[in-house]
């Protein structure tokens, strides 16, 4: 019944795993369940991609509008006109710089006052 080959005992019969007697109905049900899960994953993936595409399209539209606004500003400045939005930006920056300068001055005065007091 047993063969000795190269010092190892070999059992007669087939090599590898023996095919288990799998219930055909259970196998089919597992296959159907796997297919359902695959379809659900695919559906979710496509929904995610569609949402991603639509958000990118909205971003592109917003950027195109912004670009068009800048083009109109350039055309106006070429004609010697300064758009009101740019004036507001410039005056806002000047006000911001003035506030920064006054803040720096106040800090400098505080540090001088603190250093002069013993």
Q: What is the pLDDT of residues 24-64, one digit of tens each?
A: 889 999 999 999 999 999 999 999 999 999 999 999 999 99
**Please, are residues 11 and 2 in contact by the beta-carbon 8 Å criterion?**
yes
CA–CA distance, 79 with 21 (Å, rounded to integer)? 88
pLDDT band at 118 (very low <50, low <70, confident <90, very high): very low
Q: What is the pLDDT of residues 79-117, one digit of tens each?
A: 998 888 888 888 887 666 666 666 666 666 566 555 554
pLDDT at 17 over 80: no
H helical segments located in 13-80: 24-78
Q: Structure pTM?
A: 0.49
**Please, are residues 12 and 1 in contact by the beta-carbon 8 Å criterion?**
yes
CA–CA distance, 64 with 19 (Å, rounded to integer)? 64
**Please, are residues 70 and 57 in contact by the beta-carbon 8 Å criterion?**
no
CA–CA distance, 34 with 36 (Å, rounded to integer)? 5
- Residue 109 is predicted with a pLDDT of 57
């Amino acid at each position: 019944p047993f063969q000795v080959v190269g010092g190892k005992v070999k059992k007669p019969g087939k090599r590898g795993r023996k095919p288990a007697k799998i219930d055909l109905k259970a196998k089919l049900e597992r296959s159907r369940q796997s297919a359902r899960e695959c379809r659900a994953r695919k559906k979710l993936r496509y929904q995610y991609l569609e949402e991603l595409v639509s958000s990118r399209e909205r971003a592109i539209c917003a950027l195109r509008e912004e670009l068009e606004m800048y083009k109109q500003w350039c055309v106006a400045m070429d004609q010697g006109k300064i758009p009101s939005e740019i004036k507001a930006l410039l005056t806002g920056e000047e006000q911001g710089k003035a506030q920064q300068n006054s803040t720096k001055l106040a800090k400098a005065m505080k540090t001088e006052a603190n250093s002069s007091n013993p």
